[in-house]
Chains A and B, each alone.
Chain A
Amino acid sequence: MIPELGHYALVLALALGLLQSVVPVIGAQRRDAALMGLANSTALMQFGLVALSFAALATCYITSDFSVRTVFENSNSLMPLIYKITSVWGNHEGSMLLWVLILSLFGALVALFGGNLPASLKANALAVQSWIACAFYLFILLTSNPFLRLQPAPFEGQSLNPILQDPGLAVHPPLLYLGYVGFSMAFSFAIAALIEGRIDAAWARWVRPWTLGAWMCLTLGIAGGSYWAYYTLGWGGFWFWDPVENASLMPWLAGTALLHSAVVMEKRNALKIWTILLAILTFSLSLIGTFLVRSGVLTSVHSFANDPRRGVFILAILVLFIGGGLTLFAWRAPLLKQGGLFAPISREGALVFNNLFLTTACLTVLTGTLYPLALEALTGAKITVGGPFFNLTFGPLFLVLMFAMPFGPLLAWKRGDLLGATQRLMAAIGVALIAIGLAFAVEGRTSVLAPFGVGLAFFVMAGALVDIAERTGLFRAPLASVRARAAGLPRSGWGTAVAHFGIAVSLLGIVGAAAWGTERIMEIKPSQIVSLSGYDLRYEGLKQMPGPNYTEEVGTFTVSKGDDLIGVMHPSKRTFASRGMTTNEAALMARGPGQLYLSLGDSKSDGSIAIRLYYKPMVLLIWLGAVIMMLGGALSLSDRRLRVGAPKPAAKSALQPAE
């Protein structure tokens, strides 16, 4: 009964979605408030129905109702509750349901908090949002129905893929989807603006918080996925340039560009057409990502089971929305009015530079990701484009961008002073030179390029601090006025500095782990000692342990440095009887921002076991940097001017006593 209820709710959501796709647009044409207002209630009801549908599916998983096919295929009564819940989206059908759940959530949020939007813009945007929703409802109902029943009902389920039985599954996909799908808001508003043929700075003020929110989730989602892959795949890599990873990186790059160009549009009313185009492209890349992962053109942990009809269906959605969006853009964009003027050397110019490099870097990733697919389709030759390709293309472009990053916030709007900005960055340049010198002195023999990477990271970090120091008048003005200016500085200013600081922290982590990491791959016998980068690990032995739905071989290694015992590491291998599979649980030991990383291979009858041991200095900075970036976004999001329905600043400042 419950699965049928969920199925029925989804069909109802589709019916409401179709209504919402048409009526508000007509209302906006005729300036009919009642017809436009319909979108508010249907958007809320759609969310209610999809949430009901999702809850129904979750109930089937929690109660282990194996008469439902997806539950039978992906769950098992022995699995712990958390994995029963995360299995809901640990498969193709359920993950698509999560996709539309988040999509309808965003629609409902616009309906709820869009009170101060122009009525026709809101109505059109909600209609466009509903077009996307309908396409995906149809996709789920026609090709990927999660509620199909099995007759007769099996007694026990087949269990979730053991690789996915990890807390990472609770966090990574929902965050990633919040990011992917969140960019649909920018898309819907862009299409709505094109339909109306009118756009202004208020549009950017409206779209930016949604984009920023989506970007924050995507940043955390990508970082979370990277950390998950790092500890679960057993060989210590944190980024593989796998097409599926690229699929999430591309919308991130385009979304980052969109965030920056929306600033120009909001502040200076310039770059309007470009911003609209970026909004369309960013969501298009999200759709391409969904296509790559969900269509089965790639094989990876993400692609689950697939049948070819799904690929064709998603491809049709892709063509419809990207093609339609770009056609509408080509037709309507010339109607939009030109914006403000600026000199090439200016804040606007710097943000254009940012956009140019981000989109070009995104394009190289797109090329590397799609080229093998295109080549195979055209000539049948199969190739792999891996890390070396992206290091040689994406790498240089991104490094140039990082180098330019500290200059941007120091340039004035309209016409900037590059020489002045450079002078103000002298302190940061000094810090960078010291960092390069120190890196050479300490580790110079191992890598020539790495010290410059460290220098660049410190340049950007110090540049972010210089930006804040300049804005608050630190070291120049008396302390009291510095405090007042710091308090008066818009939160988005703090957000910029924090986010720029964050990406430099990530860069430092990547350089450190890649250039100065050490590894040992070997066989070890009980009570043998292995040494790496000053740490001695003694193998104490292997124990069999039972788990809830697996058996585990747990190794024990005592770790010492010099004469001090500093801890014990327990890497393990889990064997899942229900699928005849093993997974690797690496043991991690934090040493400052670095980590010792130990994972197990096969054991032999003579008691020896294969191990991979890595020491990765600074590796935690990679993910810490992403969290800092996300916090920068949050600061910016809390800016008064972006808060929806915030009181006018003037009213508040009148009440504040002069300090």
Chain B
Amino acid sequence: MTRKQRRLILIGSSLGVLAVAVGLVLNAMRGSIVFFESPTDVVEHQLAPDARIRIGGLVKAGSVERGDNLRIRFVITDGKHDIPVQYQGIVPDLFREGQGVVAEGKLESGGMFVADTVLAKHDERYMPKEVVDALKKSGRWQEGEAQTAKGATK
């Protein structure tokens, strides 16, 4: 084999592997990507039925109801619209009323959001970025809010 033929084999097989990888990526993109929506997005946009989404906002004050077998219901709000959520499992340590939360799951036809994952922030100082953006969009976010909240607890 000449140097040229060998190089062709090398380039050909590289392109082959790359093509397979691109195929895998495109295939995975179709099925395994989750969009993030604010409660306003959910109300105003038509969502594909059975689509997995993430909803982020604040846990509405006074909305948390705990049932048996770790069942919990609460309302996610961005100040404009509310979405009722139900979940079965253990909510994160920093899940609290009035605090930021992100829930992942599916919207049922009755308007109830059935979550299989509930995420809260990692740290009392910072909100999940998506929640901040969602609140900014609905005009309910003031810069420095986190800091004043912090000062108030001192």
Contacts and interface: CB of A to CB of B under 8 A. Distances in A.
Interface string A370-397: 0100000000011111101100110011
A357 interface: yes
A549 interface: no
A579 interface: yes
Nearest to A583: B93
A369 B13 CA distance: 26
B70 A581 contact: no
B34 A386 contact: yes
Contact of B25 (A356, A367, A523, A610): A367
B47 interface: no
B124 A580 contact: yes
B34 A383 contact: yes
A368 B54 CA distance: 18
A392 B123 contact: no
Contacts of A368: 25
A388 B31 contact: yes
Nearest to A274: B10
Nearest to A355: B14
A299 B128 contact: yes
Contacts of A610: 70, 90
A300 interface: yes
A305 B24 contact: no
Contacts of B128: 299
Interface string A145-161: 00000000000000001
Contact of A389 (B18, B33, B54): B33
B122 interface: yes
Interface string B15-50: 001101100110111011111100000000000000
Interface residues of B, number: 42
B15 to A, nearest CB: 10
Nearest to A397: B21
A389 B29 contact: yes
Which of A163, A234, A602 is the most central at the interface, judged by chain B CB atoms within 10 Å of its CB?
Answer: A602
Interface of A: prevailing SS:
mixed
A584 interface: yes
Nearest to A363: B21
A360 B18 contact: yes
B32 to A, nearest CB: 3
Interface stretch (B1-9, B75-83, B105-113): B1-9
A545 interface: no
Contact of B36 (A352, A360, A383, A601): A383
Given A299-B126, A356-B13, A382-B133, A393 B1 contact: no
A357 B17 contact: yes
A316 interface: no
Contacts of B24: 364, 392-393, 396-397
A521 B70 contact: yes
B34 A305 contact: no
Nearest to A367: B25
Contacts of B123: 161, 163, 301, 579, 581
A338 B89 CA distance: 61
B21 A384 contact: no
A392 B32 contact: yes
B36 A602 contact: no
A357 B18 CA distance: 9
Interface in A581-635: 581-584, 601-602, 610, 612
Interface string B88-125: 01110110000000001000000000000000001111
Given A356-B14, A364-B25, A388-B32, A523 B129 contact: no
Interface string A297-309: 0111100010000
A343 interface: yes
A387 B67 CA distance: 30
Contact of A352 (B10, B104, B133): B10
B28 A388 contact: yes
Contacts of B142: none
Given A360-B21, A612-B90, 16 more contacts: A161-B122, A338-B3, A352-B10, A356-B14, A371-B29, A382-B36, A386-B34, A388-B32, A389-B28, A397-B24, A521-B70, A522-B70, A523-B68, A581-B124, A601-B90, A601-B91
23 contacts: A305-B126, A341-B3, A344-B6, A344-B10, A344-B13, A363-B21, A364-B24, A382-B36, A383-B33, A384-B36, A384-B104, A386-B34, A392-B27, A392-B28, A393-B24, A523-B69, A579-B123, A579-B124, A581-B93, A581-B123, A581-B124, A582-B93, A583-B93
